[in-house]
Amino acid sequence: MAIYHLSTKPVSRSSGRTATASIAYRAGIAIKDERTGKEHDYTKRKGVAHTRLHTPNDLKIERNELWNLAETTETRKNSRTAREIVVNLPHELSGRLRMMLVNDFAKDLANQYGVAVDVAIHTPDAQGDNRNHHAHIMLTTRKLERLESGRVALTSKSQLEMSNTQLKERGLPSAREELKAIREQWANITNKHLKEAKIDARIDHRSHKDRGLEQLPTKKLGWEASALERKGIKTSTGDYNRKVEEYNHAMQQLAIIEKSLNAVTEQRVQSNDRLREAIERAVKLIESATYNTAWADKRARQVNERVNDSQQGIEGAEREINASASAIDQADRRIAEHQQSKLKAEREAQLQQQAKELLLQNSQELHAQAVKGEKAVNAYETRLANIEKQFFFLNLTPSTKD
């Protein structure tokens, strides 16, 4: 599995170190220290897989010039001339992907802090762990900038080299907080590359304590202790790491046992839960069956009641049909009687009409006879009046007898 490691330390004159010697050894190159006149030649060094120099805004400067500038810019005898970061590279990644990973990280540091960042990737030692791919990352302690004259120079101290008082005055995080941010940044970019390579392994920048782990961290052996351990000579750091490994192994076994117990307990709880659920389902089924039986009985009673009601309805309908048939018979008789009455009335009306017509005819004849008789009477009276006139003129008086 991928292992997280990131450590940082200054390259200081007080410890007898120089930036030129450090980069010459790590990059496997030859550099002459212009301040001391000393030649540092490590061109025959093996195990350097890749080197690359990153500068902010891609400023152009040679490696020899840069690190000699770092030495000559500092004047105190205890000056820090460089800062080194050592990171472990995931052995799960290919050589090309490891190179891309560390260069992405170095480029971010250069642009973030405005410093030059020199990368050297080392392969595992032949006698050591063949998974120990790692990189040495050298940072200048001052910002690399181009002056108005056009010359590239190291100017003010970078944020990583300021005291906590200076950082606080500028409203910046403390040195400890900034280092934690860099550790997290390395974890994030490493995990990003692992994910892109479709590798499940991940690293975590947090301490065992912060992660809630009971395991103890081991100490880095360093090249001297590693060489002694490979020769079979035990060292204090190696002894400490072995005790830590024994303790961690015991804790791992204890964790496995605890995990097994928890799994058994969880299985028992799950079994009890499943049994309880099964019982509850059975009770619900019984309750549902009881309810369905009662409901079915109720429905059966309702159906029987409806059947009885229907039977009574049928009987009532039959009575109504019989009554209707009787009523129809009565209606037929009444219709027949009505038709007979109608025929009788029609005959009576015809007789009345004939009587009326006969009476009218007789009346007309009588009227004609009366008119004729009246005319005869009128003619007689007229004649009689004429006779009386004649007698009056003759002075004759007609007798009543006449």
Distance CA 302, CA 306 (A): 6
pLDDT band of residue 231 (cuts 50, 70, 90) is: confident
- Give the pLDDT mean for 13-37: 96
CA angle 233–236–237, rounded 5-degree value:
100
Q: What sign for the dihedral angle of Cα 327, 328, 330, 331?
A: positive
pLDDT digits (tens, 9 = 90+) for 266-318: 676 676 677 777 777 877 787 777 777 777 778 778 867 876 776 787 787 67
- Give the pLDDT mean for 173-181: 95
Element holding 156 (H helix, E strand): strand 152-157
Q: Which residues contact 135 (CB under 8 A, 6 or more apart)?
A: 86, 87, 89, 98, 102, 119, 120, 121, 122
pLDDT at 48 over 90: yes
- Contact yes or no for 203/191 (Cβ under 8 A): yes
Which of 81-95, 211-225, 234-248 is the most confident on average? 81-95
pLDDT value at residue 378: 86
pLDDT at 116 over 60: yes
Say how many Å lie between the first and final Cα of the chain, rounded. Answer: 182
pLDDT band of residue 37 (cuts 50, 70, 90) is: very high
- Give the pLDDT mean for 195-201: 94
pLDDT at 396 over 60: no
pLDDT value at residue 395: 65
pLDDT value at residue 354: 82
Residue 139 burial class via C-beta count within 10 angstroms: exposed 0-12, middle 13-18, buried 19 and up? buried
Average pLDDT of the chain, as a whole number:
85
pLDDT value at residue 257: 73
pLDDT value at residue 114: 97
Q: Which carries the bigger pLDDT value, residue 314 or residue 198?
A: 198
pLDDT at 1 over 70: no
pLDDT value at residue 401: 46
Q: What percent of the chain has pLDDT above 70? A: 87
Distance CA 132, CA 222 (A): 12
Which amino acid belongs to residue 320? E
Q: Which carries the bigger pLDDT value, residue 358 or residue 399?
A: 358
- Contact yes or no for 13/77 (Cβ under 8 A): yes
pLDDT value at residue 28: 96
pLDDT at 214 over 50: yes
pLDDT digits (tens, 9 = 90+) for 313-356: 778 767 877 777 777 778 778 878 878 878 887 888 888 888 78
Distance CA 338, CA 360 (A): 31
Q: Which residues contact 191 (CB under 8 A, 6 or more apart)?
A: 202, 203
* Structure tokens, 234: 């035990």
Q: Which carries the bigger pLDDT value, residue 76 or residue 367?
A: 76
